[in-house]
Structure 1
Amino acid sequence: MATIPNITPKSVPHLACYNATFDLSNKIWRSDNIIDERIPLLSVQIAYNVLLSSIFHHIFKPFHLPLMIAQMLGGALLSSSMMGRFPEIFFGLYRAEGILAVETISNFGIMYYVFLNGLQMNADTIVGSSSKSMIIALSCIMIPMLGGAWFLAVERWVLGAEPINNVTIRGYYFCCAILAVTGFPVLARLLSELKILYTRLGKDALTAAMLIDAYGWVLFTVLIPFSHQGGKPLFSIMCTLLFIVFCFCVVRPILARVIAHKIRLGTWDSRGLLDVMVGLLICSYITDMLGSHHVVGAFVYGLILPSGKFADLMIDMLDDFVTTTIVPIYFASFGFKLNLEAIFDTHCSVVFPIAMVVVLAIPKILGSMMVTFFFGMSYRDGLGLGLLLNTKGMMAVLMLSVAWDKSFLDPYSFTIMMLAILFMTVLVSPLINVIYKPKLLFKQTQQRTVEKLRGDAELRIAVCVHNVNQAAGMIHVLEATNATRISPLQISVFHLVEFTRHATGLLVAQMDNPSGHGGSCTLKRVDHEWSSDGSQDAFESIAKAFEEFAEEYKAVRFEISGIVSTYDTIHEDIHNITQEKRASLILLPFQKQITSEGVLETTNKAFGDINQNVMLEPPCSVGIFVNRGLKSLMDTKMSIIMIFIGGSDDREALSIAWRMAGHSNTKLHVERLLITGNEAAEEEAFHNESNGLLSTVMDSVMQRELDDEQILHFRHKGMHNNDSITYSEQIVKINTGEEIPMILNKIDNPSYDLYILGHGSGKNYTAFQTLLEWCDNPELGVMGDIIASTSFGTNSSLLVVQQYTMRKKPKPVCRRKCNSKTTNSDML
């Protein structure tokens, strides 16, 4: 039996030792029972690990726990403290002769996993990080390292261990490093699932994690040579560092040119990918030969390869297999070393190890709070940043495994550090949801509407676009909002990209977002292709268009960022970033685009689903723009018509139209329709609880009073000494709803360039509610859907507006007045 030096046999987990004697006879060809042989046994072991980790992952998925936690727990079940208590079951899956095969395959697979981690990172971003990110990373490295040294010192003092020696000092080094590192890939995926990846906190955490992860690899490279018995560690370190410099200075430029040339010619195929994998094996072998760890070479090789289309191809080919199949096998071998009984074999109370696990999570939180306080950030940001940077990944597990294999840690310390890694990573998601949920951070206020915005206040608009054509149309709308030095325009542009590849979200998050200040913008361009679907080219084209717009209008400032997410959840990212930007209006593009024949055709049905999801519970007012060739105010004069029926959405639409009328090249006509012949749904308007979507409950009388008040204010102040604004009223009778298209046809005029409507126009009338069920595009409302249809004769563009309303807990409904609950409220 193999034994571990300097540790008593009693404290060694029974399953950590196995018979290293091999039977060289070729029995597999003569056996009557094949299931007893090596290959079938290995197949059963792999199937067990993959199945178990998948089950845990599905259980923990609603809690946004990383996949690594499920894999670690699957491995922990194989420890002597759990499945080891049932020898019949354990040895049916993991006989001694099968453990060696599991460890061999897992170490080979972990090399590929580390390679993919390096491929997902961006060396240019690491080098060009801001001083703020570097200071945060440095603080979150040094303080936890001191905490690690303190942990081992306290542990040895409490347990009455032997005096400090060379082995103990090396254990100090590894514990310090484990507490200092952060799992960058794990954190990136966690931020994306929590929908805070593109917030300020998410970007700060991701950049700092990248720097800490890079530092962790440097520290790992240095520690491994010193962990060997004998040898020349300094010589090994120098040779490894020279090899890394050679890879970056010589190998990287050559590979970048060759790969870019093949991708440009379209000659890149699976054979080329296999050639790349040969390079991975060579780099891993060289670093192992130089006295470092083979995963160091794998990480460096992934880091020097170009990102973009090539990275997507590599990750598509390897990520699913490596992450879901190979990594669980590695954690299975890791579970053999875990012995939970070790923490109960000491004279200390069980409270001590629990307290130690909790205390080990504090140093990084303390370091981040100190730095964020220095930069003037809130304590909430500091606490959230510290929790996020406590996320551990494969680097911490590798260091802990090496420390065990080299006998630098006894079973007690090993178990405590293992539990600390689990505790820190599990703790992140639930606590972030409690203390840093974007919807809870920003106070609800009516200032998120254009109607309540002061005339001399800055107008903040969040603009969402999918492509360059949509950006051009949005710019013409923004141009019409009449930005002045008294009331400037702050634009936050979001380039929406569907998450279809494993690495895309990480690559976008690492880009330095261009920002506009004082009408100018500086772009950080990338020399290589960024993705196979042209997202990088589209991003730069959109940024260039807004840059030209900001240069032309000095009162306009903008910033642009990419949002990569699944279309089912991308609206959550839009909501969170919009709240952080304190925008008063979100502009969304309609899913149909005008063709050369002048017909609106659907570009992507998913765009319509995104618009509806954004409008469901928005953090501010929302506008959907239907572009039918709207031109720039620099080239022509714009004629706008706003149709007013009543309700909060119409009042918001009128406020936007009124602001546009301040431009010298704009004419505005407001047409108010006074509807008769159809009783308003008073019961619905008065007793609306809206299932938590809307909170302000107003009766129809109050709505009409607010409508009359705004119209009176508009006529008195807006039309005074302004010949470009006209107003008219007409009384219309609506009974069945069939009259609405005829009314719009009478109002329609080919000279109108832009219609502005409220999304909920007429919703308190039964005829409108009936027609809404037949709308092809319910996000446009009844009248918006008619105007945007091909049967309507206008060539005008359309802007449909929904006003933000503060959400409150619904008030109890008086049963004597109404016994039913409704679903719509102040979206009239």
Structure 2
Amino acid sequence: MAEADAYNSCYISVASNPNRIWESDDVLIKQGPSLSLQIAIGVLASNFLYHILKPLNQPRIVAEILAGFLFSPLLLGRTKEMTTIFPTASILSIETYANLGLMTYAFVCGMEMNLDSILQVRKKATSMAIFGILIPMLIGMSFFNVIQKFYEEPTTHLKFLEDDKHKTKAYLFWSLVVTFTGFPMVAHILGNLKLLYTRIGKDALSAAMISDIFGWILFTTIIPFSSNNVKTLWSVMGTIIFVLLCIFLLRPLIARFIHKTIDQEKWDDSQLLFVLMGAFVFSYITDLLGTHSIVGAFVYGLILPHGRFTDFVMGKLENFVCGIMSPIFFFRSGVMVNLVRVAQQKYWPVMVLVMLFLSIPKVVSTLVASFFFDMPARDGVGIGLLLNSKGILALLVLNIARDRKILTEVAFSIMMCAIFLMTFTVPLFVNIIYRKQYNRYKLITIEKLRIDTELRVLTCIHNNSHAISMVNVLKATNATVISPLNVFGVHLVDATEHSTTLYATDMEHSTHSGAQNNLTRSQKELDSIYNTFNSLAEACIAIRFEAFKVVSDYETIHKDIFSLAEHKRTSLILLPFHKRQSVTGCLETTNEAYKDVNLNVLRDAPCSVAIFVDRGLGSLSNTNLNILMLFVGGPDDREALAVAWRMAKHPENQLSMVRIHLLGEAAEVDILANGENQNDEERQKMLDDEYVDSFRFKAVYNDDSITYSEEEVHNDEELTSLLHELDCDEYDLYIVGQGSGRSSMIFSKSLEWSDNPELGVVGDMLASNSFGTKSSILVVQQFGSGGLMFKQNPTKEDRCELLL
């Protein structure tokens, strides 16, 4: 146990001349190399484990605590090499660095919270947060009483409580750790699980934000009482007055100055230093008042204005603070865990059970709250699990209790393990609960949607020009009181890691306060998108609209789209093509990442999908469209016909449907594509005939604005000639099926050189600049038809496989 005792040894700092505070030993020579090595080991180990655990959707804090635990006395910390790297004499240096990281991390946490959103929070979130504090506090005290009674003094004659006068404080500190929730942890977990923009995500995020604020209030008011200072009451009152002055006096002044500086474009990177120094100044003030330095740093981050300024600062500081500075504090907390002392207990199984059962109080509290708000029990359990995510406050309170001898090493180790287990298991259990729920839900296709049923469309947009063109497509769908249209406009924003938390409290459109010039680019874009779609809803009473902003990495943003589509129960996802028309009339790539998003959505969408290629439809001021629907066969073409059928009911639209029959060489089947699906191919042909006959009987014969014709194609040359011939009529919009399930040889060969497999063969031909059409194109894929199977980095030579 010599190694373990080394971690608990006192260190002595000798000052040769206390009257000259700036004169001391050369720190760079004596402590610099050792500190640099310790920081490097802690940061590298934390980041290494973080990348390993990333597939499990774990937040950084889990990897950082685990890294520290690996270097604890139980494992690597007992080796001679680690004792040399982490000597007792270096504790003061590493703790100084850890506290600097702690202050900057608290500053970032404050910036991630939007004070305006906190002040406007709803009753349900506040109630769940209050229940999540009171009930866990009571249950937590009972757990502490259990382990205290089963604790037995080891041969070293250490008591469970170092001093009986700390008994009340020990109960209080222990229960505080149980009640705390880390808002940034909850936001990142929800973002990783792609639940951030669902109902459970919004409720959990709001409750976590309020719970975290309550946690900071409790921390500010209770921590001073742990120092046994007679001036404790004055310390608390002084801190409260300081915080109120910051919120109501300094905040407007700082916001005015920052808005003015940004409006005049005077802000640059050099001024970032002054912002960071402000965090240290505020930290010094609250430390001087007797609370804790991180309170000042957090309050300073909280009062800074959101918008372009916050986005700029977070973009500069986030990676440095969370990747270099703060990991050392969490790493150090993991190092201090000593399970050897726990294992020496006679009733150590009771201690282990307490570790496991400490996650129950939060779940019980949210279940109680869900009963009063008529929430499903599943949501109560899910939110309770999410609120178990611990952050900076829980670890800080635990470290303070240990350093001030309020809790012993056994109690500290038990709670540290509980914090690790709670935060580690949250994403695992929540993912199991809600993924199973969504996977059971199967959405209906437009083909099978009754005409008197509401059509729900999820429209994905990258910029306002996409919104304008999408609005004209949606206008043409003929929304009526009998068959209304519900549009969910989703602004897709590529995100850095901090953006998920930064924008988490502003997921839906809201009127932003402050100067318009202070809005971030995405906020301005969302406002423009909202106004564009809102004009559509105001023009027709049968159209409803909701705006959302999804902030996520483009590589995984399709999962957010799926979650929203499932949550809103949409029948169609409408996507913009990754190319747009230039002044010369050619399609030019705007962002290659848009194509990857579309391919990912097509691959595993929970409902039907349509990709819109805009060649000027967005510039039309009315919906008097001349539409051509090309029908070759298969589920995608039937879905495309269902969309065209709805548009044909619009009194100002003209629809021409051309059914293309493949004969001769064109009808030859690709054995590799068809496989053993001969029977299903016959069934698809039968379904095609039934649906086309129904369209002719119900639509063509009863509406002069709809025409129907049939054409025969024997080879790929005839197909190309037919498309050129049809294009001479200058249609405004082509509607075609993507082509999943077609086994004809001419389509299989064409896919080998297709530039845009997401459009299918016909859609790719129409969208190519060499074809020369001026018409916009809507390519439809039906849910359940199989979708595209493609390689992650498709090239022109890649062979796409179409599966039924």
Same topology, TM > 0.5? yes
Structure 1 residues 84, 656: CA separation in 2 closer, same or farther (over 3 Å shift)? closer
- The residue aligned with 2:782 is 803
Q: From 113, 120, 127, give the equivalent of 2:112.
A: 120
- The residue aligned with 2:376 is 378
Q: From 583, 586, 596, give the equivalent of 2:570.
A: 583
- The residue aligned with 1:5 is none
2:452 alignment partner, SS class: coil
What CA deviation, in whole Å up to 9, does each residue of 1:230-265 have, x standing for no partner? 322222111101100100111111111111111121
CA distance in 2, matches of 1:570, 1:807: 21
Q: Say if 1:686 and 1:698, in contact at 8 Å, map to a contact too.
A: no
**What TM-score do you get using the length of structure 2 for normalisation?**
0.92
What CA deviation, in whole Å up to 9, does each residue of 1:14-42 have, x standing for no partner? 412133143759xxxxx9x9998321111
Identity %: 42
Residue 199 of structure 1 and its aligned partner are, at CA, apart by: 1.6
Q: Say if 2:262 and 2:517, in contact at 8 Å, map to a contact too.
A: no
**Which residue identity is paired with 2:150?**
V
Q: Say if 2:751 and 2:800, in contact at 8 Å, map to a contact too.
A: no
How many pairs are equivalent?
780
Aligned residue runs from structure 1 range 600-679, under 5 A: 600-630=587-617, 635=622, 637-678=624-665, 679=667
**Which residue identity is paired with 1:195?**
K
What CA deviation, in whole Å up to 9, does each residue of 1:127-171 have, x standing for no partner? 101111112212212211111111122222333788995411111
- The residue aligned with 1:774 is 753
- The residue aligned with 1:188 is 187
Q: From 686, 689, 694, give the equivalent of 1:708.
A: 689
Structure 1 residues 742, 132: CA separation in 2 closer, same or farther (over 3 Å shift)? same
Q: Say if 1:685 and 1:699, in contact at 8 Å, map to a contact too.
A: no
What CA deviation, in whole Å up to 9, does each residue of 1:437-493 have, x standing for no partner? 16x524353x53100111111111100001111101101111111111111111111
Q: Any unmatched runs of 5+ in structure 2?
A: 18-24, 153-158, 788-798
CA distance in 2, matches of 1:131, 1:536: 26
1:452 alignment partner, SS class: coil
Aligned residue runs from structure 1 range 135-146, under 5 A: 135-146=127-138
Structure 1 residues 11, 100: CA separation in 2 closer, same or farther (over 3 Å shift)? closer
1:372 alignment partner, SS class: helix
Q: Any unmatched runs of 5+ in structure 1?
A: 1-8, 26-30, 515-522, 690-696, 809-820
- The residue aligned with 1:722 is 703
Q: From 757, 762, 766, give the equivalent of 1:783.
A: 762
Q: From 479, 486, 490, give the equivalent of 1:490.
A: 486
- The residue aligned with 2:794 is none
- The residue aligned with 1:268 is 267
CA distance in 1, matches of 2:15, 2:249: 47
1:126 alignment partner, SS class: helix
CA distance in 1, matches of 2:64, 2:12: 27
Q: Say if 1:684 and 1:825, in contact at 8 Å, map to a contact too.
A: no
What CA deviation, in whole Å up to 9, does each residue of 1:158-201 have, x standing for no partner? 33788995411111111121111111112212221222122221
What CA deviation, in whole Å up to 9, does each residue of 1:560-592 have, x standing for no partner? 110111111111111121111111100000111
- The residue aligned with 1:451 is 447
What CA deviation, in whole Å up to 9, does each residue of 1:501-530 have, x standing for no partner? 44322232211513xxxxxxxx42232569
- The residue aligned with 1:441 is 438
CA distance in 2, matches of 1:575, 1:448: 15
Q: Say if 1:586 and 1:622, in contact at 8 Å, map to a contact too.
A: yes
CA distance in 1, matches of 2:28, 2:549: 52
2:89 alignment partner, SS class: helix
- The residue aligned with 1:681 is 669
Q: From 658, 670, 680, give the equivalent of 1:699.
A: 680
**Which residue identity is paired with 2:467?**
A
Residue 100 of structure 1 and its aligned partner are, at CA, apart by: 1.0
2:702 alignment partner, SS class: coil
Aligned residue runs from structure 1 range 282-431, under 5 A: 282-348=281-347, 350-431=348-429
CA distance in 2, matches of 1:80, 1:600: 64
- The residue aligned with 1:525 is 512
**Which residue identity is paired with 2:803?**
S
Q: Say if 2:318 and 2:498, in contact at 8 Å, map to a contact too.
A: no
Structure 1 residues 552, 281: CA separation in 2 closer, same or farther (over 3 Å shift)? same
Structure 1 residues 630, 360: CA separation in 2 closer, same or farther (over 3 Å shift)? same
- Answer yes or no: is 1:759 the counterpart of 2:756: no
- CA root-mean-square deviation: 2.7
1:525 alignment partner, SS class: coil
Residue 13 of structure 1 and its aligned partner are, at CA, apart by: 4.2
- The residue aligned with 2:795 is none
2:701 alignment partner, SS class: coil
1 or 2, which has the higher helix percentage?
2
2:440 alignment partner, SS class: coil
Structure 1 residues 359, 531: CA separation in 2 closer, same or farther (over 3 Å shift)? farther
Q: Say if 1:46 and 1:329, in contact at 8 Å, map to a contact too.
A: yes
Residue 550 of structure 1 and its aligned partner are, at CA, apart by: 0.4
- Answer yes or no: is 1:58 the counterpart of 2:55: no
Q: Say if 2:489 and 2:548, in contact at 8 Å, map to a contact too.
A: yes
Structure 1 residues 787, 285: CA separation in 2 closer, same or farther (over 3 Å shift)? same
CA distance in 2, matches of 1:52, 1:752: 61
- Answer yes or no: is 1:74 the counterpart of 2:52: no
CA distance in 2, matches of 1:245, 1:646: 69
Q: Say if 1:461 and 1:586, in contact at 8 Å, map to a contact too.
A: yes
Q: From 712, 722, 727, give the equivalent of 1:731.
A: 712
- 632-641 vs 322-331, which moves further: 632-641
What CA deviation, in whole Å up to 9, does each residue of 1:212-246 have, x standing for no partner? 11111000001111111132222211110110010
Residue 774 of structure 1 and its aligned partner are, at CA, apart by: 1.2
Structure 1 residues 630, 99: CA separation in 2 closer, same or farther (over 3 Å shift)? same
What CA deviation, in whole Å up to 9, does each residue of 1:280-308 have, x standing for no partner? 12211111111100100000000001122
**What TM-score do you get using the length of structure 1 for normalisation?**
0.90
CA distance in 2, matches of 1:334, 1:662: 67
Structure 1 residues 763, 806: CA separation in 2 closer, same or farther (over 3 Å shift)? closer
Residue 724 of structure 1 and its aligned partner are, at CA, apart by: 1.1
**Which residue identity is paired with 2:444?**
R
Residue 633 of structure 1 and its aligned partner are, at CA, apart by: 8.2
- Answer yes or no: is 1:469 the counterpart of 2:474: no
Q: Say if 1:479 and 1:632, in contact at 8 Å, map to a contact too.
A: no
- 224-233 vs 632-641, which moves further: 632-641
Structure 1 residues 314, 343: CA separation in 2 closer, same or farther (over 3 Å shift)? same
Residue 783 of structure 1 and its aligned partner are, at CA, apart by: 1.2
Q: Say if 2:472 and 2:623, in contact at 8 Å, map to a contact too.
A: no
Structure 1 residues 742, 413: CA separation in 2 closer, same or farther (over 3 Å shift)? same
Residue 344 of structure 1 and its aligned partner are, at CA, apart by: 2.3
Structure 1 residues 600, 21: CA separation in 2 closer, same or farther (over 3 Å shift)? closer
CA distance in 2, matches of 1:399, 1:90: 27
